[in-house]
A and B are shown apart, each in its own frame.
Chain A
Amino acid sequence: MEWIDLLSSAPFWIAVLRLATPLILGTLGVLLCERAGVLNLGIEGIMVAGAFAGWLAVYLGAPLWLGVLAAAAAGAVFGLLHAGLTVSLGLSQHVSGLGVTLLATSLSYFAYRVTFPSVNTPPTIQPFAEMKFLAGVPLVGPVLAGQTPMTLLALAAVPLVAWVLNRTPLGLAVRMVGENPAAAEGQGLPVARLRTGAVVAGSALMGVAGSFLTLAAFNAFFFNMVNGRGWICVALVVFASWRPGKALLGALIFACFDALQLRLQQGGASLPGLPELPYQAYLMLPYILSILALVAVARRAAYPQALMKPYRKGER
């Protein structure tokens, strides 16, 4: 197979957009939290909780979109916990985030096992259907026709988050508490409430990101199904220099490599210029790329100034 065939084939780009969807939503979630000055390493577990909550709701008879809402709610609850610990109490954002990840993951697994004590094959649901009716759209039609509505939701969320952050007074306030909470306080802004709100909203997005896995990509809940995607989102935010547009770009570039490694791994169809490697080498690629992306932008990364700094009124 030639590179040109691959890059002009619709199945490849369908895979790219599908793989990018949870990354886009998750990255936007991390971005919202970090813009308000809170690192949220709970994402890995929140995605598991979202995947489980969304799937369970649909399994119990709810419509698919209510499942997405359930995932958002599950994410928001864990976000509230993380905000309570890091914003209200000012605890270490690193450790609290890891704790939230452990808690959300183990609670989801526990709840899954309590609800389904003895199933050998995971119970399935009818997931989101592909939007075949979009096939007629010029140029991108064939690619869009292979997507579920959740991908459109993710693509729509990018300009929405960008608009809220950059063009509304609320967004300005959120960015301000992430850059200089003391000055924000001086302006009469409720720092703790803004930060909590941003973390809860961001975590809801992470929950939705997780639910894409069970409601659109697959039709069941598996253990380890998130498999590091959350950590990749944390890396992508740095790569995107905390901008929603660049986050979309980063997620797409990343998904391109992921789709490529899937293709190389399954098909065995080798591309010119690429060596024959064990399949594990291709599986490593996404993680190594994330690390390289972090290194590449490290020198000029403009972190939100108050990221990881708890704000306690009157304490320096």
Chain B
Amino acid sequence: MMRFTLERRADPSRLALLLAPLAAVAFTLLACMLLVAWAGAPVGRTYALLFEGAFGSRFALSETLTRATPLMLTGLACAVAFRARLYNIGAEGQLYLGALAAVAVGGMHGGSSFELPMPLLFAGMIAAAALAGAVLLLVPALLKTRLGVDEVVTTLLGNFVVLLFVSMMLDGPMKDPMGMGWPQSVALDGALELGKLLARTRAHTGLLWAVGLAVGLWLVQRYTVFGFQMRSVGANAQAARFLGLPVQRVTLCVAMLSGALAGLAGAIEVAGRTSYVTLDMSPGYGYAGVVVAMLAGLHPLGVLAASLFVAGMQVGADSMSRAVAVPNYIADVIVAVALLAMLVATLFAQYRLRRNP
């Protein structure tokens, strides 16, 4: 029997690493053709509709950008945490808690918001959302560093707890008195809402926040001491400890940063798109953030491109499924296959397959 082993490439080519995501996406689109054919739809037309619905018109593009904005932030949250080997799968919960905190500070309680100058209130809203997300992730991070509890399971289970907590708040203290019984929170003060990026569309300036934060994060990771510490802890925690780096403290700081980014995603969604917290405001942005981060190779700037891809597939699939008989769940399949294909593609950029005699 012929046997193969994987052998680490001495110096993996940068080009191969850059091409890996493209290869993964190409493979994904080819593989998912089978599903389209199974659904009985014409493959070429379905894909044309998919991409047209995602990027084909001013409206399509604006919808994709709107959808990509929270994905960029949750993607950054996952990327920064994964880079330091902190597997934060709780971005969904952090997003919701951030949104709730934003409305708690900036919402119209009893008909008006707090008596504060608007810039101050806006800053307070953003800070509250970031803090809520950060504290929420700090708990599993502390459990990890202090007691060695695996953070994947705790953050995953935490998502369910947070969603129920939000539901409890929307039924109780933060229920919208004008909501006609809909489970939604009080409205955000209109003056706090983000401006439009494109007239007569839903695209809002939250996109600029996301892009700015991505660039900022990239600079921090690349050029600062803290960035170096984050990367060292992720690359080899034991070596980092021998170097004298405060591994636990770095992990906790990364957790705060990651949670804050995801919490911010919630605030930006509320201020830019929904104006209320509802229980369906996120169609899994937190979980999709994991995929975005992996597709991006955990690179902050890559996150921007990856979220455009994921958002485009989701928006495109919605519009495509109205025209041909392919369920829009194909977007989720595409995203999942892309994640697995990306893992394999990156591996083969770093390893070669060797045939043993």
Contact = CB atoms under 8 A, between A and B. Distances in A.
Q: Which of A81, A109, A238, A281 has the most B CB atoms < 10 Å from its CB?
A: A109
Given A95-B339, A99-B340, A110-B327, A89 B152 contact: no
A106 B287 CA distance: 13
Contact of A231 (B156, B294, B339): B156
Contacts of A100: 340
Given A284-B165, A295-B143, A313 B5 contact: yes
A154 interface: no
A89 B167 CA distance: 42
Interface in B335-350: 335-337, 339-340, 343-344, 347
Interface string B140-184: 000100011110111011101100110110011000000000000
Nearest to A283: B164
B315 interface: no
Interface residues of B, number: 45
Q: Which of B143, B157, B343, B347 has the most A CB atoms < 10 Å from its CB?
A: B157
A288 interface: yes
Interface string A305-316: 000000011110
Contacts of B89: 98
Nearest to B291: A102
Given A98-B290, A284-B164, A106 B152 contact: no
B153 A231 contact: yes
Contact of B329 (A96, A106, A287, A313): A106
A106 B336 contact: yes
Contact of B5 (A91, A291, A314): A314
Q: Is the interface of A mostly helix, strand, loop or mixed?
A: helix
A278 B168 contact: yes
Contacts of B153: 231, 234-235, 238, 290, 294
A96 B342 CA distance: 10
Interface in B298-350: 325, 327, 329-330, 332-333, 335-337, 339-340, 343-344, 347
B46 to A, nearest CB: 13
Interface string B198-234: 0000000000000000000000000000000000000
Interface string A88-130: 0111101110111011011101100110010000000000000
B114 interface: no
B8 interface: yes
A299 interface: yes
A228 B160 contact: yes
Contacts of A294: 143, 149-150, 153-154
A153 B344 CA distance: 37
Contacts of B168: 278, 280-281
A114 B5 contact: no
A160 interface: no
A172 interface: no
A291 B343 contact: no
A39 to B, nearest CB: 8
Interface of B: 5-6, 8, 35, 38-39, 87, 89, 143, 147-150, 152-154, 156-158, 160-161, 164-165, 167-168, 171-172, 287, 290-291, 294, 325, 327, 329-330, 332-333, 335-337, 339-340, 343-344, 347
15 contacts: A91-B347, A96-B343, A98-B339, A100-B340, A102-B335, A235-B157, A238-B150, A278-B168, A288-B157, A288-B161, A290-B153, A294-B149, A294-B153, A298-B147, A298-B149
Given A99-B336, A99-B343, A228-B156, 6 more contacts: A95-B294, A106-B336, A109-B329, A110-B35, A110-B330, A114-B327
